[in-house]
Amino acid sequence: MIEFSTLSTFQLACLVLAVGMLIWDTVEVGRNDAANLVNAVFGARVLRRQTAVVVAGLAVVVGAVLSSDVIDTARKEIFDPVGLGVLDDALRAALAIYCSVYIVDTVLLYSYSAFGMPISTTACLVFELLGAALAIQASTVNWGKAGTVMAGIVCSIVLTGFAAFLIQRAVRGAIRDRSTHLATLLLHGGWVGGGLAAGLSYFLLLKGMKNVSWVQQISSWLSLLNDTVEMGVGGALLLLFMWGVFAILIHVLLVVYRRRAARLLFPVLSVLGMIAMAFAFGQNDLANCASPGLAAFTLLREQNVAIGTEVDIAWWMLLACGLLLFVGMTTKNAGRVTKAAVSTGSVSDHVELWAPRWCVRMATRLLEFRGRAPALAPRAAVTAAGKTMHYDPLRACVIMSVSASVIATASSRGLPVSTTYVAFAAVVATGMADRIFQRGDAALKMGRAIWVVTSWVLSALIAVAATALVATAVYRLAIWGMVGCIAVNLLVRRVLKKRADRQARRVVEEAYERAHPEEFALEHE
């Protein structure tokens, strides 16, 4: 281990950049992904956004401290830093790759957040690492692992979409719009609420917290059971047992507390789902912001690429990163992302959204093929404070439960799946199950969904190209390349921030005009 006082000027600059950008990027990840954690609970008006952020933020911090194997996947398995040993200055090349990821990631996440666009921090990380590694030493890319991660991301979207659609259609068919009606919940509340609670508990504990000692003990018991019967039966039996226990418990509470329990059942479950998803987010998405900076730090401390990427990350570093994620969740742009995500899946007739005209036209064509069946979701209600309820608590439960279960399962396998993709798929799929695209601004909401998915593809292309250029500049020009790239970063942020603010004001004005056309009729005559 070498003292930091002996570092060269370039290495010292990389250390300062890595630490500074780690803080910056972690805040940006929290800023963008806050919508994925609180949008359902906030959209259903179960909690105020500030309260939801605090509750979810605490769960994020805990999840970050118990970070899974995902951080190693992002740190050294997308590309192999040891492969840089063929270069005379392997340490310099590795530092250039990790620093360039941060320079691009901070501006990309900030720009998307400013426009209220949820972006996948996971996909950005993967493609940024690929772009930088290709530019410096293409042979170091682990195409097998990169392909596995990207396949995992795609599979998580498909799995979430199917599961969310089927579960939402099933529970909506049983409960309809009577999610607080005592007689209905006495009949269906047990199996619906018990199933959602069992799924959350099973995937969060046995998958997301598999490294905790007492959870490992439970897993060992299941392994003994699997040795005597077919593989996987132990987990299935445990899940069914938990489902039965939760179903009985919920039914007893409904019998004892009657209307009070009926009123609180799905709001409470949606908050528990948010906590579970926030925990899973802290485990999974911590890798997206922490791994490059922590990797650069350990590389400089050890002055050896092979050793530096094998050093365990201290718990206090993970705790600090978790707290920075929490800070990012409280920022202004985080609120803008939350509002746009909620509006995309809203049951309200008129929403404040923006989408390019070609996306709206494409959505209009797609919606022409929809059935004529009426929407299943209840119409948007208004709270006592005059706030629109974009979802009902029943749908919020399904969104949170499915999303948290998928993310926790991926974390247990060391796969950095996208919280953004998973949460967005759950919102859109549950909306389709509820047939929300039947009235009002349906084409605009569907067009926004198309634009979000298109922007995800664009972000991958931008990440690869931009990081390749930045990595080359930092590697070839050292400090001067670093300074120039940071200057471009700040300039792009400044320009896009002004454009985003103008668009936000225009979106509000256009939404008001659509909701009150009679006030603008004379202007067009």
Q: What is the mean pLDDT of residues 98-124?
A: 86
**Overall domain count for the chain:** 1
Q: What is the mean pLDDT of residues 22-46?
A: 80
Exposed e or buried b per residue across 413-431, where buried means at least 16 C-beta atoms within 10 angstroms of its C-beta: ebbbbbbbbbbbbbbbbbb
Q: What is the mean pLDDT of residues 214-226?
A: 56
Burial of 312 (0-12, 13-18, 19+ CB in 10 A): exposed
Q: What is the mean pLDDT of residues 372-380?
A: 79
**Amino acid occupying residue 462:** I
What per-residue confidence (pLDDT) applies to 230?
43
Domain around 174: 4-524
What per-residue confidence (pLDDT) applies to 228?
46
What per-residue confidence (pLDDT) applies to 524?
47
Residue percentage of the chain with pLDDT more than 70: 82
**Signed CA dihedral, 504, 505, 506, 510: sign only:** positive
The neighbouring-strand residues paired with 389 are: 381
Q: pLDDT tens for residues 425-457? A: 999 999 999 988 887 788 999 999 999 999 988
What per-residue confidence (pLDDT) applies to 340?
81
What per-residue confidence (pLDDT) applies to 310?
58
What per-residue confidence (pLDDT) applies to 175?
92
Round to whole Å and give the CA distance between 289 and 24.
Answer: 9
What per-residue confidence (pLDDT) applies to 369?
80
**Amino acid occupying residue 297:** F
What per-residue confidence (pLDDT) applies to 347?
87
Exposed e or buried b per residue across 115-154, where buried means at least 16 C-beta atoms within 10 angstroms of its C-beta: bbbbbbbbbbbbbbbbbbbbbbbeebbbeebbebbbebbe
Which residues are within 8 A (CB) of 336 and not within 5 positions of it... i.e. 6 or more apart?
113, 114, 115, 116, 504
Residue 231 has pLDDT above 70, yes or no: no
What per-residue confidence (pLDDT) applies to 239?
82
Q: pLDDT tens for residues 54-98? A: 898 888 888 777 765 555 555 556 777 777 766 658 888 888 888
Banded model confidence at residue 122, pLDDT cuts 50, 70, 90: confident
What per-residue confidence (pLDDT) applies to 268?
93
pTM: 0.85
Round to whole Å and give the CA distance between 101 and 451.
Answer: 25
Banded model confidence at residue 205, pLDDT cuts 50, 70, 90: low
